[in-house]
Amino acid sequence: VSDKWLQCTNCGATYDLADPKFFGCPKCSTETKRWPVEVMYDYDAIAKRLGSSPFPEERASIWRFADLLPVREKKNIVTLDEGGTPLTRIDSFSIPLYVKNETLNPTWSFKDRFNTVNISMARELGYDKVVSLTSGNAGAAIAAYASIAGLRALIMCHDQVPPLLYNAIQIYGAEVVIATKYGAQDLIVRLVQEHGWYPSIQMPVLYVAVPYGVEGYKTIGYEIALQCKDSPPDYVFAPIGGGDGLYGMYKAYKEFMLLGLVEKMPRFCGCQITGADPVVRAYREGSREQVRRDPVPTRAISIRAPISGDHCLSAIYDSGGLAIGVTEEETVEAVKTAAKGGIFAELASAVSIAGAVKAVQQGDVSAESKIVCLVTAAGVKWPEVLATMVPEPPRIAATMDELSAVVEL
């Protein structure tokens, strides 16, 4: 009997860990609705194995949690010592916020956690090439991990990806094409089905999905739980694109409860930009069904999705959390104020902060609560967006006269 396997999130059918069901559970999926499979574990066996001193800190990377990750053979692990990011209190807002600062990962986003696991699994399953579609952050992470794994990587960038990011993806050694987003999904299906490529794409099945990477996001939740051992958070706010990040943290807490490592979980709250907010709309109607809709244009392209996964909506309801929409203007303010607290988040990441501030202002969340905000990626990766938030500095000849004309001495 195996201690790790795959299980359908709808009908419960089980599959071998090495049988990833990229197109969803074949037993219950239909033409219009495909159900993802996810990795499950024998928690009783893990609890026995962990003993009294689980998760040694001498391993800085997320692989200190290897018992709760899908890779079987240590030799297949591809790591850049990702994870282990700080939980930093910032006081630049009217309420104290704790920022889980994922900008400090090797490619400056939480996608490193997904890809250290997913690319390690590609190696374990014997693939030699990996493909994805990206708004930027995922592509950089995939490219870096595929390179050190010795795998070929093809990254299709959607046409709003800035030059900095598509060039960064190339410097890590990946092949890049720039394609319109929704047609490119169909190409990925064909590359996976007909040409033997391994997908590095989120867990919910839209056209094609992979169940392993979300397990890497669990490690954000494990780390928050360990970092807050003496004073657990009441709320965790997270940006939602596909929804894997929020779901991963929720699953982490569920597992830690099963293992007797924490007593309760925080309320998980999902944040989206108004007009690109399928989860917020469903939450407002009390529904578990999202409606697919073309999202409005936004500079927060990392989370601009026509529909997110059902799994993150379930995590919000089951944890007693909420979903909240924020405007792009509110999010720009959050970026600026967080930066005054020393943390420069990308616009899409800062929806978690904007959402937390708004939830407190509206009275949905008590100002006395301990609030953690997940900041998923760094602002420096988006120079064009940054340039829209600050003025062009004055240029002068270096004389006192000219200096005193533009600044107060």
Residues near Zn ion (CB under 5 A) are 8, 10-11, 13, 25, 27-28, 35
Q: Where are the alpha helices (DSSP H) in 1-149?
A: 43-50, 111-124, 137-149
CB 85 within 8 A of CB 104: yes
* Contact partners, residue 7, CB within 8 Å, separation at least 6: 13, 14, 15, 37, 38, 39, 40
Min dist CB 352 to Zn ion, Å, is 32
Distance (Å, whole) CA 153 – CA 166 = 13
Nearest to 144 by CA among 124, 162, 118, 126: 118
Shorter beta-carbon distance to Zn ion: residue 10 or 92: 10
Token duo for residue 359: 């939830």
Min dist CB 284 to Zn ion, Å, is 29
Give a three-class secondary structure readout of 68-99: HCCCCCHHHCCCCCCCCCCEEEECCCCCCEEE
Min dist CB 21 to Zn ion, Å, is 9
Shorter beta-carbon distance to Zn ion: residue 13 or 187: 13
Shorter beta-carbon distance to Zn ion: residue 35 or 166: 35
Shorter beta-carbon distance to Zn ion: residue 209 or 338: 209
Min dist CB 40 to Zn ion, Å, is 13
Distance (Å, whole) CA 228 – CA 249 = 14
Min dist CB 37 to Zn ion, Å, is 8
Nearest to 248 by CA among 110, 53, 134, 353: 110
Shorter beta-carbon distance to Zn ion: residue 15 or 55: 15
Shorter beta-carbon distance to Zn ion: residue 10 or 170: 10
**Which amino acid is it at 259?**
L
Min dist CB 27 to Zn ion, Å, is 5
Q: What are phi and psi of 88, to 5 degrees?
A: -105, 130
Shorter beta-carbon distance to Zn ion: residue 27 or 33: 27
CB 338 within 8 A of CB 92: yes
Min dist CB 203 to Zn ion, Å, is 14
